[in-house]
């Protein structure tokens, strides 16, 4: 009986002395979370159904500060490049809001996204709608690579 008690005490001591790691706060800022390349396909944006895969529009987002990003829109088929600087990012309950000046221009949310071959998965979905001038607007729906 004494050996069993000593053995149980030994096992209890071993399990109690395991190293624990503290939970560290995330060092990723809201702007850093958006940082990266976003691509579309004809499952996410049916207006691109006629475009070949290599010529689909894409967006590159780069963090400027903790709460500002630069958005660069590229449409390879027509060689259109558009940069939006000093876009403010605001964290919300359901994602991130993108604001240029006093105008909300888009969101980043966790949602269903579709790959190029039509497979559905959970991912970050970027939706942008920005009125450039009276006749031109930027509409983009894409997922983070």
Q: Does 92 fall in a domain?
A: yes
Q: Does 11 fall in a domain?
A: no
pLDDT digits (tens, 9 = 90+) for 60-106: 999 999 999 999 999 876 777 889 999 999 999 989 999 999 999 99
Contacts 24+ apart (CB under 8 A), 90-98: 90/30, 91/30, 96/30, 96/33, 96/34, 98/69, 98/71, 98/128
Kindly list the distances between the CA atom of residue 34 and the CA atoms of 61, 69, 99, 111, in Å, as whole numbers in the listed order.
7, 8, 13, 15
Give the residue numbers spanning the domain of 32.
28-144
Q: Does 118 fall in a domain?
A: yes
What's the rounded mean pLDDT across residues 101-121? 88
Q: Does 8 fall in a domain?
A: no
Q: Does 4 fall in a domain?
A: no
| Domain count along the chain | 1
Q: Does 17 fall in a domain?
A: no
Q: Does 5 fall in a domain?
A: no
Q: Does 20 fall in a domain?
A: no
């Amino acid at each position: 009986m004494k050996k069993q008690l000593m053995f149980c005490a030994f096992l209890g001591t071993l399990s109690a002395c395991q190293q624990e790691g503290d939970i560290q706060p995330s060092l990723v800022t809201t702007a850093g979370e958006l940082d990266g390349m976003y691509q579309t396909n004809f499952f996410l944006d049916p207006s691109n159904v006629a475009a070949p895969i290599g010529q689909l529009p894409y967006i590159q987002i780069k963090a400027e500060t903790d709460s500002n990003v630069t958005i660069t829109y590229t449409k390879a088929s027509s060689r259109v490049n558009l940069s939006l600087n000093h876009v403010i990012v605001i964290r919300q309950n359901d994602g991130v809001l993108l604001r240029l000046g006093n105008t909300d221009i888009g969101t980043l949310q966790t949602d269903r996204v579709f790959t190029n071959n039509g497979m559905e998965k959970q991912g970050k979905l970027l939706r942008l709608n920005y009125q450039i001038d009276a006749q031109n607007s930027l509409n983009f729906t894409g997922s983070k690579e």
